Amino acid sequence: MKTANADLDKEVWELWESVVEEHELGFRKALRQAALLFEIPLDDGHFDVGKDVYQKSLVRIKDIPSIPDQSEDIPSTPSTEAVEGGKDDTDAGTRDEQ
């Protein structure tokens, strides 16, 4: 039993390491693209992984509320009623027949 658990623990650890490596590679790729597309040197002091965009400015991650009001950051999506043209239940039967 202990050897089976040890094997599983080893496999989980290896998978975790590979996921972390993929995330790091993706982050480095994004930095290289930003440097190329926006002509920003990677050693520029504006890059700070401890900050995120919040309400259109860079803010320390620990200063961002856990449930932010992202109404300014997220485009509004139409409600189901708006998409369907605000039809009520009386139109339900005629929609299927059309």
88 lies in some domain: no
Per the structure, the complete domain to which residue 11 belongs is given by 2-74
98 belongs to a structural domain:
no
Q: Is residue 80 part of a domain?
A: no
Q: Is residue 69 part of a domain?
A: yes
| pLDDT score at 39 | 86
Note whether residue 50 is domain-resident: yes
**pTM for this prediction:** 0.46
Position 15 in a domain: yes
pLDDT, position 70? 55
Could you tell me which residues come within 8 angstroms of residue 40 by beta carbon, excluding any fewer than 6 positions away? Answer: 34, 46, 47
Q: What is the distance in angstroms between the CA of the first residue and the CA of the last residue of the chain? A: 63
Which pLDDT value is given to residue 49? 78
Q: Is residue 68 part of a domain?
A: yes
The two tokens of residue 56 are 């259109």
Per-run averaged pLDDT (10 residues), the chain, 98 residues = 88 96 94 87 79 90 78 54 49 48
Q: How many domains does the chain have?
A: 1
The span from the CA of 19 to the CA of 92, in Å, is 48
Q: What is the pLDDT of residues 31-41, one digit of tens each?
A: 889 889 988 88
Q: Is residue 47 part of a domain?
A: yes
